[in-house]
Structure 1
Amino acid sequence: MQITASDRWSDRVIQRWRWILAFWVLASVLLFWAAPKWDKIAYDGDFDYLPAEMTSVAAGKLLDEAFRQDRSRSEIVLVLGRDHGDLKESDLVVGLDLLRRLHHRLGEVCWQNAITRFGYEQGPIDEAGEAGPWLRQALDSFNHAIDIDERFYESITDQLPDQEPTLVQPRLAIAYWDRATLLERIGDPENSAASDFQDALVLVPSIKTDVTPIQSRDLSAWQSMMDVLSWNDPVIGSRLSKPGARLTVVQLRSELAATSNITTVEAMRGLLSEVLNDSSVRTEPGLRLEMTGSAAIGGETLIAARDAIRYTESITVVMILLILITVYRAPLLVAIPMVSIGCAVVVSTSLIALLAGWSLNETVPWLDVRIFTTSRIFIVVILFGAGTDYCLFLISRLREEAGKYPWPEACRKALSGVTGALLGSAMTTVVGLGMLWIAQFGKFHYTGPIIAICLLVGLLICTTLTPALLRALGPGVFWPSKVLQNTEPPVSLLGQGTSSQSATMGGGVWSWIALMITRRPWLAMGIGMVGLILPGIYGLVNESNVTYDLSSQLSSTSGSRRGFRLLADHFEIGEINPVTLLLVRPDAVPREQFKKEIKKLSDTLYQQEGVATVRTFSDPLGDFPPNREMSILSSDAWKRRALQKHRIAQRHFFSTNAELSDRLARLDVIIHGDPFSNETASLVSALDQKLNELAADDDSVWKGSKVYLAGTTPSIIDLRSVTLSDNRRIKIAVVLAVFVVLLLVIRRVMLCVYLIATVLLSYYATLGLTALFFQQAYGSEFVGLDWKLPLFLFVILVAVGQDYNVYLVTRILEEQENLGWRIALRRAVAKTGGIITACGLVMAATFFSMTSSAWFPQIAAWFGYHSGTGVGLKGIIELGFALGLGVLIDTFYVRTILVPSYVSLTGRLASSGDAKTAVSHPDDSQGNA
C-alpha cells in the first residue's frame, strides 16, 4: 500500500498529540499578550484607500500641503427645524442654548491644545507663535459663548427653572470663569478678569471648587473641533438660515471615517440631548434638533460597524453551539470544535494584529499589512463556518473509522482520510480570497489576503489541535452515544452478492436522492438549471445596479439620516458637499492679477451645466453671481466686503505655503443635485473636462496648470472607476485560480469546468434573489445594493462554494477505487449527504449572523434589554444575507442536484489521475434497477 503525504502527516499528529496541545496553548497565550488591540490599529473609510494617482487623492494631499492646520476634513451639521411651517421665535431659544455651549467647548479645546501641544503656561498671546492662534481662537470663542449666553438669558427671564443653578444652567457660569482665567494668564490690561470672576461667583458661589483646571478636563471626544459656523453669525448667517430651519456647522480636523469620530458623535448626541431636555420646554412641540454631515455619517457608520461586529460574533457562537448540539447531542463533541475554532480566532486575529502593528510602526520596513474595522467580521464568520465544517468532516470520518479500528488508529485513519479533501477545500477559498491582493483599491487589496492567512491558521489548527484533542479524550467523546462496530458486509470489487441498498448505505433520504439522480440525470440537471437560470438572468442584468451613497449604508432610523432628510427639506444638499477645484499655475503671478484671473474663471464656471454657486475669495458664500450687479454704496456691497474679511475667506482660499502662494487657486463649486447620484457625477466629470481643456488651451491664462478635484462626488467618481476595474480583473483571476486548485485536486478538466460554471450560476442567482429581496424589504428607500457586495459575494461564493463540491467529488474518487462509478456516486452522495448538509447549514448560519444588527436589537428590546444603537449597517446586512443564501443554494441545490447529475451523465471517474471512459460494472445492472 502506498504511503501518502496525508498518511505521514496524520502519523506525526497522532503520535505527538501532547506536544501539539502544549504548542497551541502556548501560542494562543503569547500571541494574545503580544498583539495590539484590533480597534487601536484598524483603519476605516473608503476614500482614503484609493490609489495615490487618483485625482481626488492627489487633491487631498495638495490641500493638506497647502492649508495644513486650517483645513477642515469633515463636519457635523446640526439642523434646528420643523417639518411643517416656519420656526417660531421661541424655537431660537433652543438654538441659542446650543450655540453658547458649542462656542464654550471650542474655547476649551483650543486653550487645552495650546497647553498640551505647544507647552503654553502663561504670557501674552504671540500671534506668530504656534500657541498664539489657538489662544486667540479660545478667547474669541469664550467671547462668543458669553455674548450668546446673555441673549439666551434675556429670552428666558420669564421662564427661569426652579432647580439649583449649575455651571451651564440657567447661565453659562463656566464660560465667565474660563474667560477670566485665560485673561489672567495672557495679561489683562483692562482688568476684565476680575469682573468675570465676580460674575461667575455670583452665578455659582461654589464654582471655584466645582471647576476642573483646563489642562485636566477630559475633552478627548472634542479634540478635532476646528470652528463653529452658525446662523447666528452676522456675516455668514444668512446662508445658514431658512424660514423653517437654522444650521450650525461644526468643522472638524478628523477625516469623516476617523475612529475618533465615534466618541465625537456620541458626545454630540449627549450635548443635543442636554439642550433639548433643558430648553425644548420653552417652545411649542414639534421642534427638531438633528445631527448630520460627513462626520456624523462616518461616525454613525463606525458605531454601526462596531455593533455589527459584536452582534455577529455573539450570534455566530450561539448558532454554532445550537447546530453542534443538534448534530451531535454529545457535550465533548460540541466542546472540541468550539475550543479549536476559538483557538483559531485568537491565534489568527492576534497574528494579523501583530503584523499590522509591525507594519504601522515600521518595525519590519518591508511589511505592508493593514486591517479594517469590518475585516474582523469576515474573519470571525469564515473561521467559525469553515472551521466547524473541517471539524464536522473529521469527526464524521472518525465515527466511521472508530467502528473498525482501535482509537489511535481510527484517529490516524480519519485524519488521513479527510486531510486531502480539507486541504483542497481550504485552498480554493485561500487562493480565491488571496486574489484580492491584485486589487488597486486598498480595502480589497488588504482584506482578502489577511482573511486567507486566518483561514490557513484555522486549517492548521483543525488538522492538528482538533485530532490531538480527539486522541487525548478517547472514545468517550461520543458519550452518551457509543461507538458501534461496523457490521456492514464488505463490498466485493466485482460487487457480487451486494444489493443496491447495501451499496447505497442502507437507504435513507440521501440514498433515495442518489438513486433518483442516477436514474434520471437529464431530468435532474434540466430542472436544476432552470431553477437557477431565471434568477441568474436577473442577477446578471442588475449586477451593476449598486449604490456608492455612503449615507444609504445607515438605516432610515439613524440620527444622521433623519438630519439629512430635515436638511434636504429646507436647504440645497450640495451646500454642505461642495466640489473643491484646485488649479496650480506653473509660476506665481502678482496677487491682484491672480484675483482677477480667479474672478474670470468663476464667471466662466457659472456657465457650466449644473453649477449652482461658485465660492471664491471675492465671494466666499457664492451670493454674488455674475448677473448680480450692485452699487458701491448698496448693502450688498457692504456685505461682500465684510465676507472677504471674514475668517473663513482669510484662511480658506489662499495658501500660506510659500511654494504655492499666488500659484494655487481654490474654488468651491456647488452642484445641483444629490452628491452621491450618477447624474451629479456626470456633471462633475464634465466640469473636470472643461478645466483640463482650459489648462491645455494655448490662449488661456491657465495654460499648463494642474487641475485637481476634491470632495464627495469626485471621490465617488474615482472609487467607482477603481472598483469597476478591480471587479473585472479580480473575477477573472479568482476563477482561474480556483480552477487550477480544482484541477490539482480532482484532475478532471471538464468536471472542473462544470464545477466553476455551477458556482458562477449560483452567484448570479444569489445576486438576483438578493436584489429582489431587498427591493421588497426597503421599498422606496432601495437605491441599489451596496457597491462592495457583488465582488465580495463573487469571491467568497466561488471560493467557499467549491468546498462542498470538493468534499463530494473526492469521496466519489475514493469510493471508485473499489466500486463502479455509478455505485461509487450513490455511495458518496449517501455517505456525505448528511455531513455536507450540516456543514452547509453551519456556514450559512454564520453568514446569516452578519444580518443580526437588523433584528437582534429589536428582539433584545422585547425582553427589556437594550443593546447598541439599533442602527444597522446595510452593506453588512445585505452581504450576510447574500452569502448565507448562496451557501444554501450551493448546499441544497448545486451539490445535491447539479453536480451528481453531471457525474452520472458523463459516467467518467477514473481511480487514477487520467480521465477514461467508464466501463459498465457488473453492479450497474442492479444499480439501475
Structure 2
Amino acid sequence: MYRLLGQFVSRWYWPVALAWFAFLALAIWIAPPFEAVTKTGEFAFLPPNEQSPRAERLFREAFPGGPEKAELSEEGVTVQQNPLGSSVVLVLRREQKEGLTEADREFIRKHLVPAMEDVKENTPAIIFRLSQPLPKLRKTPPEEQIVRSITTFDDPKIGLLLDSPDKKSTLVVIDLKTEFLDRTNILLIHRVREAIDKLYESKVVPLQLEIATSGSASVGRDMIMAEADSAKKTDFITKFLCIALLLVIYRAPILAFIPLLTVGITVPLAVHLLLIMAKYNLAGMFTGLETYIVVVVYGAGIDYCLFLIARYREELDNGHSFSEAISIAVEKVGAALATSAATSIFGIGMMMFAEFGKFREAGFAISFGLLIALCSCLTLSPAMLRIFGRWTFWPDVRKERITAEGSWVAESSVGRFVQEKQWLDRMWRRVSDSLDRHPGKIFLGSILVMLPFAIVGIAKQRHLSYGLLTDLPQTYASVEGARAIQLHFPAGMAGTTTVLIRDDNLGLKTKDSGLDAAGMRAGREISRYLEDYLISHKEALSIADVRSQFSPLGVENSKTLRAPGPAGRTAQLQSYRNYASLNGPEAGKVLRMDIVYEQDPFSRESFDLLTRTEDAIRTALRDYPKVETESEEEEGPTPRDLSKAEVYTLGATSSMRDVKIVTDRDQIRIYTLVTLVCYILIVILLRQPAICAFLIISVIFSYAVALGATYILFSVLHGEGFPGIDWKIPIFLFTLLLALGGDYNILLMARVVEEQQKHGPIQGVLIAMQKTGGIISSCGVIMAGTFVSLMTGSLEGMIQMGFALTVGVLLDTFMIRPVLVPSYLILLYKGFFGPLTNFLGGRPPKMLAGDRDADGGDPLSPSPA
C-alpha cells in the first residue's frame, strides 16, 4: 500500500499539493464561526444524570417563570431568586476605622447608580470582542437589555445583606439575564468598568473610597479573555519555537519550511473540519480546545516529518533521483509512521470513553488532528519535497546532500560549531560506553534520582485545585474584587449554595387561587425547623448564614420581617413566593433554602462540607415528625412524613463537586483504557509482552515524576497558600505521555531488535541506543518546544500543564528511553534477574515480522541531525 502511495505522490505531486490547499480553503469557507458551536465553562460538560444538573432541571420546573416572570412586590425581585443566573458585583470599601461614611452612600445614590442605569439602558445583549470598535451608545429596548436589575443597600428588602458586618464595605449587585460565561456579558462588563474609570476621572469618587468589580459574570468574562489571550500567545510561541528548532536541526530554510507548511495546513484544516462536525452535532468543541490541538498536532506532525525527511535524505545519499527517493521514503517509513501514529491516536482516543464532556471532546479532537497530520505527512510533505526538488536544500542546490560547506548557517554560528565538534554523537557514544560498563549502577542511580519526585507525584495526584479564581492571574479585576469581598464578607458569599427539598408531602400549595395560608404556614414550619437544625450545627458545618422562607434575609436580619402588622405579612407572603414552588409541574412539592458558608466555595474542604450538610438535612427530615416547636407564638408543626424527601443542591460548590466526582471516575477509566490500548499496540508490533510491560511501566513512572516535579515547583512558588495543581492536569498528562511515549518505545525497540540480529543481544541494545538517541532527542525537543508554549498563557492551569508536559517529554526522551530502558535491557540479557530472566523477556526474539526489508534497510529513520 505504501509503495503505491509513494509512487502516486511522486508522480502527481502538484495535484496532491493543490488538493490540500483547496481542501483547506473549502473547510474554512464552510465552517461556522468558532463562537457559534463551542461551549464555555466546566459545568456544561457534566453528565445530565449527575446531582447538580438534575438540581438545575428541578429548579426550572419548580420555579418555571424564573426572575423574569416572577410575581414582583413593590420592592422588586431579590438577588437570591435565580441561582442559575449571573451578576456583576461592585465592591465599595473604606478601610479606615470609621468605615463607610454618609458621603460614600450619597456618592452611590447620586453618581454610581445613575452611571450603572445608563449602562443598563444602552447595552444590548450582543457578542463583542475587545479587538472590535466599541459600539456606539444607544437606547436599548427593555427586552433587549442584558441587565435585569441593580440592587443597593437602599433596597428595603435585601439591602441589609449588601452591607458588611463591619460596616466598611457595601455591594452594588447588577443582576444579569445571562449565565456567567455568556460572551454577551463582555460588552456590559467593559462598559461598567469604563463607567467607573470615568467617575474617578471626574473626581466625584470620595477620597480613599475603593471600588472593585467582581461577581460571577465578571469572573466569566475574565476567564474568556484569559483563554483567548492564552490561545493567541500559545499559537505564536509554538510556531516561533518550531521554526527556530527546525532551522537549528536542518540548517536549510526551505527544508525547515516544509514541515512547518505541513502542520500549518494540518492544524487549521483539522480545527475547521471539527467546527463543521460540531455544527451537525457530530463532534463537540469547547473554548480552549484549539490550543491543545495546536501544541499536540504541531509537535507530533513535525516529528512525523522528521522521520520522512531523514529517510528521504538517506535515499538521496544512496544515489536515487528525487522522484525515486520520495517514492522509496514513503514506502519505507509509511508502516512505521502509521504504527507510531496509531499508538498516539488510539491512546488519546480512549479519552472518548470519559463521562466528563471536555475529556471526551478533547480525546476525539486531538486524535482526529493526529490522523490528519499523519495523512498530510505521507502525502503533502513528500509532494512539497518533490516540488522544491534540489532547491529543498538551498543554498546547497548542486548536490544531493547538505554539507557543512554549503550550509547557509554562518561559519561562526553555534550550530556549525556544535556540528563540527559532533558533541551529540560523542555524548551518545559515551552514554553507550557507560551503559556497557555499569548498567546496574546507571539503572539504580536513574531510579533513585527520579524516585522522590515520583513519590510526591503519586502522593499528591489527588491534591488538586478546582477554583476558577486560582486559575486566573491574581492581577485581574475579578480576582481583586473577590479578595475585596472576602475581606469583609464570608468567603462563601461569592458562591451561595441553594438547597432544594422535594417531597409530595410538603403541603406548600393547598388551593389553586387566593391566599394559601395553609401552604404558607407549612413552608414556614419546615424552613424554620431546618434552619434551627443547621444553625445548631453551624460550627461543624462552617455555615455563616441560612436564608429561607422563614428568614429570607438571613437568621439575624429577618427578625423585623416576622413582626406583626401589614408590613410583616407582606414580607412573609413575598418570601413564600420566593422560596416555595407555586407554579408548574412541581407546584407545592419543592422548598428552597440558601446557605452561605465560611469557606471558599471552590475549595476541596467546601465539597466535604456540602456533603455533610446534605446528610444533616436528610437526617433532620427523617426526624421531622417527632419534633414540636417550643415557640409560644405558633402551634407545633403539622406532622408530616418527610423521611423520603429528596435533597438537591445547586451552585458553584455543588457543580464543582460533581466535576470532581465525575473526573475521579474518569481517571480510573481512562488510565486503565489508555494503558491497555498502548500496551496491546506495542505488543502487536514488538511481540515481547514482558518487555512491553516494562516499557509501559517506565512511561507511567515518568508521568509520576513529571507530576511530582510540577507539584514541588508550583508549591514552592505559591508558598503555604498553594491550593494544588489544576484538576485537569493528571488525566491530560497521563494520556499524552503514555500515547506519545509509545512513539519513542516503538522507535527504540524496533531498532534494538534489528541490531540484535547483527550484533547480539547486548551490543544490539547499545548500538540501537546510539543510532536512535539523536532522533529521539530531536523529536523530544520539538514536542517539548510546543508544550513550552503553553507556559506563555495567562491561565495558571495552562502554565502548569505546559510545565508538566515539557518535563515529562524531556524526561522520556533524554532519560527514560535512551538510558533507563537500555540499562534494564542490558541487565536482563546479562541474566541479572536470575531465574526470572526468561519470564521477563530475557531471550531476544528472532525477528520482528515486517521490520526489515529484503535489502536489510531500516524501517525507521536515522537521526536528521
Q: 1:100 aligns with which of 114, 122, 125?
A: 114
Check conservation: 1:236, 1:643, Cα contact below 8 A.
Answer: no
Q: 2:456 aligns with which of 524, 538, 541?
A: 538
1:17 Cα shift?
2.4
* 2:828 aligned with 1:910: no
Check conservation: 1:421, 1:810, Cα contact below 8 A.
Answer: no
Q: 2:181 aligns with which of 257, 266, 279?
A: 257
1:799 Cα shift?
1.1
Amino acid at match of 1:357: K
Amino acid at match of 2:547: R
Check conservation: 1:83, 1:566, Cα contact below 8 A.
Answer: no
Q: 1:770 aligns with which of 684, 707, 710?
A: 710
Amino acid at match of 1:436: M
Tell me the distance in 2 between the aligned counterparts of 1:459 and 1:485. Answer: 26
| Structure-2 change in CA distance of 1:632 and 1:260 (3 Å) | closer
* 2:753 aligned with 1:813: yes
Tell me the distance in 1 between the aligned counterparts of 2:380 and 2:288. Answer: 28
Check conservation: 1:619, 1:644, Cα contact below 8 A.
Answer: no
* 2:649 aligned with 1:709: yes
Amino acid at match of 2:585: E
| Structure-2 change in CA distance of 1:812 and 1:399 (3 Å) | farther
Amino acid at match of 1:621: L
Tell me the SS of whatever aligns to 1:674.
coil
Matches within 5 A, 1:117-136: none
1:598 aligns to what?
Answer: 523
Tell me the SS of whatever aligns to 1:557.
coil
Matches within 5 A, 1:264-283: 264-280=188-204, 282-283=205-206
Tell me the SS of whatever aligns to 1:801.
helix
Q: 1:465 aligns with which of 380, 384, 392?
A: 380
1:351 aligns to what?
Answer: 273
* 2:628 aligned with 1:615: no
Check conservation: 2:41, 2:181, Cα contact below 8 A.
Answer: yes
Tell me the distance in 2 between the aligned counterparts of 1:761 and 1:332. Answer: 39
1:563 Cα shift?
0.8
* 2:363 aligned with 1:448: yes
1:670 Cα shift?
2.1
Tell me the distance in 2 between the aligned counterparts of 1:7 and 1:211. Answer: 65
1:524 Cα shift?
2.1
1:759 Cα shift?
0.6
1:16 Cα shift?
3.3
Check conservation: 1:304, 1:873, Cα contact below 8 A.
Answer: yes
Check conservation: 1:605, 1:614, Cα contact below 8 A.
Answer: yes
Residues 804-859 of structure 1: CA distance to partner in whole angstroms, max 9, x if unpaired? Answer: 22222223334445544444434333333223212211111111101112xxxxxx
Check conservation: 1:747, 1:914, Cα contact below 8 A.
Answer: no
2:245 aligns to what?
Answer: 323
Matches within 5 A, 1:352-501: 352-359=274-281, 367=282, 369-404=283-318, 405-481=320-396, 483=399
Amino acid at match of 1:288: E
| Structure-2 change in CA distance of 1:402 and 1:830 (3 Å) | farther
Tell me the distance in 2 between the aligned counterparts of 1:694 and 1:848. Answer: 53
Tell me the distance in 2 between the aligned counterparts of 1:788 and 1:580. Answer: 26
1:687 Cα shift?
2.3
1:79 aligns to what?
Answer: 91
| Structure-2 change in CA distance of 1:288 and 1:594 (3 Å) | same
1:8 Cα shift?
4.0
Q: 1:721 aligns with which of 638, 661, 679?
A: 661
Amino acid at match of 2:115: R
Tell me the distance in 1 between the aligned counterparts of 2:744 and 2:317. Answer: 25
Check conservation: 1:584, 1:707, Cα contact below 8 A.
Answer: yes
Amino acid at match of 1:382: V
Check conservation: 2:482, 2:494, Cα contact below 8 A.
Answer: no
1:520 aligns to what?
Answer: 438
Check conservation: 1:235, 1:639, Cα contact below 8 A.
Answer: no
1:795 Cα shift?
0.8
Tell me the SS of whatever aligns to 2:286.
coil
Matches within 5 A, 1:197-212: 212=138
Tell me the distance in 1 between the aligned counterparts of 2:155 and 2:610. Answer: 31
Amino acid at match of 1:283: P
* 2:266 aligned with 1:340: no
1:696 Cα shift?
5.8
* 2:721 aligned with 1:786: no
Check conservation: 1:581, 1:709, Cα contact below 8 A.
Answer: yes
Tell me the distance in 2 between the aligned counterparts of 1:740 and 1:702. Answer: 53
Q: Which moved more, 1:596-605 or 1:504-513?
A: 504-513
Q: Which moved more, 1:476-485 or 1:236-245?
A: 476-485
1:481 Cα shift?
3.8
Check conservation: 2:432, 2:770, Cα contact below 8 A.
Answer: yes
Tell me the SS of whatever aligns to 2:595.
strand
* 2:225 aligned with 1:229: no
| Structure-2 change in CA distance of 1:822 and 1:460 (3 Å) | same
1:593 Cα shift?
2.7
Tell me the distance in 2 between the aligned counterparts of 1:413 and 1:696. Answer: 77
1:640 Cα shift?
5.0
Tell me the SS of whatever aligns to 1:290.
strand
Tell me the SS of whatever aligns to 1:291.
strand
| Structure-2 change in CA distance of 1:474 and 1:629 (3 Å) | closer
Check conservation: 1:80, 1:95, Cα contact below 8 A.
Answer: no
Tell me the SS of whatever aligns to 2:218.
helix
| Structure-2 change in CA distance of 1:288 and 1:638 (3 Å) | farther
Matches within 5 A, 1:796-875: 796-816=736-756, 818-853=758-793, 872-875=794-797
Q: Which moved more, 1:307-316 or 1:390-399?
A: 390-399
Tell me the distance in 1 between the aligned counterparts of 2:846 and 2:264. Answer: 38
* 2:75 aligned with 1:61: no
Residues 376-397 of structure 1: CA distance to partner in whole angstroms, max 9, x if unpaired? Answer: 1100000111111111121122
1:763 Cα shift?
0.4
Check conservation: 1:514, 1:825, Cα contact below 8 A.
Answer: no
Q: 2:232 aligns with which of 288, 297, 310?
A: 310
Tell me the SS of whatever aligns to 1:232.
coil
Amino acid at match of 1:421: A
1:665 aligns to what?
Answer: 591
Tell me the distance in 2 between the aligned counterparts of 1:15 and 1:904. Answer: 46
Check conservation: 2:148, 2:174, Cα contact below 8 A.
Answer: yes
2:863 aligns to what?
Answer: none
Amino acid at match of 1:267: R
Tell me the distance in 1 between the aligned counterparts of 2:437 and 2:7. Answer: 41
1:579 aligns to what?
Answer: 497
Q: Which moved more, 1:260-269 or 1:759-768?
A: 260-269
* 2:475 aligned with 1:557: yes
| Structure-2 change in CA distance of 1:717 and 1:662 (3 Å) | same
Tell me the distance in 2 between the aligned counterparts of 1:61 and 1:816. Answer: 64
Q: Which moved more, 1:15-24 or 1:891-900?
A: 15-24
Residues 463-510 of structure 1: CA distance to partner in whole angstroms, max 9, x if unpaired? Answer: 1110111122223312224656799xxxxxxxxxxxxxxxx9996322
Q: Which moved more, 1:252-261 or 1:465-474?
A: 252-261
1:774 Cα shift?
0.4
Tell me the distance in 2 between the aligned counterparts of 1:630 and 1:472. Answer: 83
Gapped runs of 5+ residues in structure 1? Answer: 117-209, 360-366, 488-503, 854-871, 916-929
Amino acid at match of 1:22: L
1:766 Cα shift?
0.5
Check conservation: 1:606, 1:614, Cα contact below 8 A.
Answer: no
Tell me the SS of whatever aligns to 2:265.
helix
Check conservation: 2:561, 2:568, Cα contact below 8 A.
Answer: no
1:62 Cα shift?
1.8
Check conservation: 1:597, 1:701, Cα contact below 8 A.
Answer: no
Tell me the distance in 2 between the aligned counterparts of 1:549 and 1:331. Answer: 45
Matched residue count: 760
Give TM-score, length-normalised by structure 1: 0.77
Tell me the SS of whatever aligns to 1:606.
helix
